[in-house]
Amino acid sequence: MSASSDKAVALMKSGFLCSQSVFSTLGEELGLEPKLALKMTTGLGAGIAGQGDICGAVSGAILAIGLKHGNHEGRSGMDGQHKTFFLTQELIHRIKIKHGCYTCKELTGIDFTKPEGMKRAQELGIGEKVCFHVIRDAVEIVKEIW
């Protein structure tokens, strides 16, 4: 494991969401101010605002891919869009191979839309059992493919 993936896990251990932990770690390596990265990704945690959709670690990784390769030139920047799509597809493919899926609800088995969801996740140690591994893998995969 790299220092980057260790840093991302440490951020989650200190109270940040998976999306924040991954994007702020990778974003900082690309020159993005960490506070901005943390604020931008708050709504993506626990499968987008706790809805159990795409894992926050994966969402954060996708944003980092876009930060590095994304299109910012309209029609003349289509190469950036294509590269971002390709790398995002590769990230999701690899996460699915390692973990069987890429949604928070499937990965954790927790329904975060219910008040008892967070409590249940803590009781079961979902962070240690699931989230830390997905965070590490998301960071490592992005660093390999970009």
> Residues 85-99: pLDDT tens digits?
999 999 999 999 999
Asked if 23 and 37 touch (Cβ cutoff 8 Å), the reply is yes
Q: What is the pLDDT of residue 30?
A: 97
**134: its two tokens:** 């997905």
Q: What is the pTM of this model?
A: 0.96
Where do we find the tokens 């029609």? 75
**33: its two tokens:** 């101010």
Domain coverage including residue 45: 3-145
Q: What is the pLDDT of residue 73?
A: 84
Local structure of residue 101 (DSSP, 8 states): -
Asked if 87 and 69 touch (Cβ cutoff 8 Å), the reply is yes
Q: What is the pLDDT of residue 130?
A: 98
Q: Which residues in the chain land under pLDDT 70?
A: none
- Stated as kind and residue range, the H or E segment containing 71 is none
Q: What is the pLDDT of residue 77?
A: 72
Q: How many domains does the chain have?
A: 1
Whole-angstrom distance, CA of residue 139 vs CA of residue 131: 12
Residues in the chain: 146
Local structure of residue 77 (DSSP, 8 states): G
Q: What is the pLDDT of residue 74?
A: 83
Whole-angstrom distance, CA of residue 56 vs CA of residue 102: 9
Q: What is the pLDDT of residue 78?
A: 85
